Structure 1
């Protein structure tokens, strides 16, 4: 390793911790009812807010859901879309309906992450790729996910909902759009593998199938 690179790198233990938290992060669906320490929640939000964003636009907005009745109504929206998703899956509908896809009523904390309104004014980095606002929000969510795992908390990203209905429910302004319902809380244990692998819904693709050099991989290879 060049000397200048070595001087910028973290220690071996710190590097190992970063790769460990990436490897052990899980999309959790099963939670204990215990409350999340407010200081830990603050740190998770700090991690999310320090994510990279295209043009430094910081398009993320966070809504903490503390009203039990509001959680119930959000859960109803998720259930409505879960049934619609099952119908759209055709022959896999029965297998899908067996999956636990959310923990809205179970987790210690529920946050909604949304895209802010007025994003059209941010042109830097988005003139040809306007969807980079969404990519930036995804970076914030991933930061929070890794921080939660490092703190010993589970987190699940729920995307099974009608965004227009959720935006209305949460009184979002025109142009704002919910991206994720995040369930965060204590868990009895982390899944040894991604839950959808355990349930035989899908398997992780080999990296060779998603990596090529210089040009798009030929389907004949």
Structure 2
């Protein structure tokens, strides 16, 4: 495991180190296919989870748990939940036959193909009921778990391991399959494994399901929908 010290915390990162960080960030992918037949060793799993556990959390509550899953029977039950929920979700496309067909052809999970599944959960009672910063924004606890998931995702990318988030699942199914206590909320079901290659673009972008939104279309200055504030001319020119 990488060890840090006071000198590390106070250092200024070099241009080369910054470039490496942004390369990791921009090359992260939601991986659902092309998993290689290779096991992730325990030390690498430990390092990835250690990175996740060092995510920021509201009131330093660290409200996450990680359930590591390799058992094929358990995975198949989760896969069955996915298949059931996928059939339900296709109905939301109404009469769009072409889009329905495209949706059916998308690979949206790697539950059985990946080396490891991880369910990340939220425990709202940890260090509670009073948690600094959560009293007025209750959702901040779940947001904290999402920060841990992002840390996990980036650490996995550094280790050349792909991660896929399976969101087409019924949480009640996960509660039953994983024997979760009533107060524990499943937030993410992740599939991890080495991959043959990382795609140059997200799969849904490559499949022309959606396009990446331009940054200039989603940034406002000072107030909602203000895109022309003269105090931000320098920033606006960067995206021209």
Q: Give the alignment's TM-score, normalised by structure 2.
A: 0.85
Residue among 26, 29, 42 paired with 1:26: 29
Residue among 120, 123, 141 paired with 1:116: 123
Q: Which of structures 1 and 2 has the bigger CA Rg?
A: 2
Q: In the alignment, what sits opposite 1:206?
A: 214
1:121: how far off? 1.2
Q: In the alignment, what sits opposite 2:189?
A: 181
Gaps of 5+ in 1: 1-6
Residue among 81, 87, 90 paired with 1:83: 87
Residue among 203, 221, 224 paired with 1:195: 203
> SS of the residue aligned with 1:115?
strand
> SS of the residue aligned with 1:123?
coil
CA separation in 2, counterparts of 1:123 and 1:57?
7
Q: Bigger shift: 112-121 or 26-35?
A: 112-121
1:12-161 correspondence to structure 2 within 5 Å: 12-30=15-33, 31-90=35-94, 91=96, 92-118=99-125, 121-161=129-169
Write the deviation string for residues 111-151 of structure 1: whole angstroms up to 9, x where unpaired.
Answer: 11111252661431112211111111110010011111111
Write the deviation string for residues 160-202 of structure 1: whole angstroms up to 9, x where unpaired.
Answer: 1011121111111112111111111011111110111001011
1:218: how far off? 5.4
Q: CA RMSD in A?
A: 1.8
CA separation in 2, counterparts of 1:190 and 1:213?
35
Q: In the alignment, what sits opposite 2:14?
A: 11
1:66: how far off? 2.0
Q: In the alignment, what sits opposite 2:172?
A: 164
Given that residues 65 and 110 in structure 1 are in contact (C-alpha distance below 8 angstroms), is that contact kept between their aligned partners in structure 2?
yes
CA separation in 2, counterparts of 1:111 and 1:57?
21
- Matched residues, number: 215
1:89: how far off? 2.6
Given that residues 78 and 173 in structure 2 are in contact (C-alpha distance below 8 angstroms), is that contact kept between their aligned partners in structure 1?
no
CA separation in 1, counterparts of 2:129 and 2:48?
28
Write the deviation string for residues 45-104 of structure 1: whole angstroms up to 9, x where unpaired.
Answer: 001000000111111111001211111111111111111111123223322111100000
Q: Give the alignment's TM-score, normalised by structure 1.
A: 0.92
